[in-house]
Amino acid sequence: MYPVCVGHEIVGRAVRVGSQVKDIKVGDLVGVGAQSDSCRSRNGPCEDCESNREPYCPHLVTTYNGVYMNGGKSYGGYALYHRSPAHFVIKIPEGLPPQFAAPMLCGGITVYSPLRKYGAGPGKKVGVIGVGGLGHFAVMFARALGADEVVAISRRADKREDALKLGAHRYIATADDKGWEKENFRSLDLIISTISSAKVRAITGF
């Protein structure tokens, strides 16, 4: 669909709602993440869709550069309008500014999902490798979920103050803190890695 400027974290007001939609009405502030549809077993049984694993559906439709089952195209968040099945639309609480809600629909859910799935919460110590956009969310969510300890992990110490402000109990700078491997060996119950570095194997040797 070149040339198109796409966007995949979409927040706006609902201007039209289908007759079978129950929880959303015209005027509501709503959001859509990077996925706006899946087959939902319309062409036969789909194990992924039927087990609430729509992101793994082989026929998923993205909010940008995607093609719906009727042949219509999805042009992303910079289009004048975006249409999506209500199943993939999230109602945004009033009072939450759209610019804060939008990143949660992609980066936010990317880390929230595994944190919830693997039991981040009371009784758990959670490590977050990489204090960038995804890592910021992971630290905040792990703390909000009630983890006993949230440990932010990055190469250098320059992000320590930010990580602690976000809610981390501790911070490890792998390039600056000598002996961090021995001091923290097997000290975490769950580790979220948001980096692509080949050194991640060494970092996860807790």
pLDDT number for residue 8: 87
d(CA 165, CA 147): 16
Dump pLDDT digits (tens) for 152-177. Answer: 999 999 999 999 999 999 999 999 99
Q: Is the pLDDT of residue 206 over 60?
A: no
Residue 102 dihedral angles phi and psi, to the nearest 5°: -55, -50
Distances (CA, A) of 6 to 10, 87, 172: 10, 22, 37
Dump pLDDT digits (tens) for 82-133. Answer: 888 999 999 999 899 999 999 999 999 999 999 999 999 999 999 999 999 8
d(CA 113, CA 28): 25
31 closest CA partner among 95, 80, 104: 104
Dump pLDDT digits (tens) for 40-68. Answer: 999 999 999 999 999 999 999 999 888 88
| Whether the Cβ atoms of residue 92 and residue 155 lie closer than 8 Å to each other | no
Confidence tier at 20 by pLDDT (50, 70, 90) = very high
Residue 143, token pair as written in the block: 């703390």
**Vertex 107: Cα angle to 15 and 89 (nearest 5):** 25
pLDDT number for residue 145: 98
Q: Is the pLDDT of residue 204 over 60?
A: no
| Whether the Cβ atoms of residue 39 and residue 21 lie closer than 8 Å to each other | no
Q: Is the pLDDT of residue 2 over 80?
A: no
Distances (CA, A) of 54 to 7, 26, 39, 61, 151: 20, 26, 8, 10, 31
Q: For residue 56, give the 3-state DSSP assignment.
A: helix
Residue 183, token pair as written in the block: 């001091």
Residue 151 dihedral angles phi and psi, to the nearest 5°: -115, 120
d(CA 166, CA 148): 15
Neighbours of 179 (CB within 10 A): 7
| Whether the Cβ atoms of residue 174 and residue 159 lie closer than 8 Å to each other | no
| Whether the Cβ atoms of residue 204 and residue 185 lie closer than 8 Å to each other | no
pLDDT number for residue 199: 63
The proportion of the chain whose per-residue pLDDT surpasses 70, expressed as a percent, equals 95
Q: In which residue are the tokens 């082989």 written?
A: 58
